Amino acid sequence: MEGAKIFHDSLVVVDRSRKPSSGSIVIAALNNEPLCKILILQGDHVVLKSANPAYQPHQRRERRIRPWLDRFPR
């Protein structure tokens, strides 16, 4: 997530009380593997996009994404 200014060995703080919105950076699980991605909401689909253009986005029908974070100090 260096493209989003989250660098290797960064400490990410998650606020589980906030509702995710499109464009937010989220921590999500895909196949029980935690991922840090950009959340894009498109109708009834969720797209988890990497800040690195070398990685393909993940598209899902399920809109249950938790926990998440909106911003972080740097």
Where are the chain's structural domains? 2-60
The string of pLDDT tens digits covering residues 18-34 is: 888 899 888 887 777 88
Burial pattern 10-26, b for ≥16 Cβ within 10 A else e, equals: eeeeeeeeeebeeebbb
- Give pLDDT, residue 57: 92
Answer for the pair 67, 60: CB distance below 8 angstroms, yes or no.
no
Helix locations, the chain, DSSP H: none
| pLDDT tens digit sequence for 22-71 | 998 888 877 778 888 999 988 888 899 998 889 899 887 765 555 455 55
Q: Dig out the tokens for 15 from the structure.
A: 């606020």
Predicted structure pTM score: 0.74
Give the SS3 label for residue 4: helix
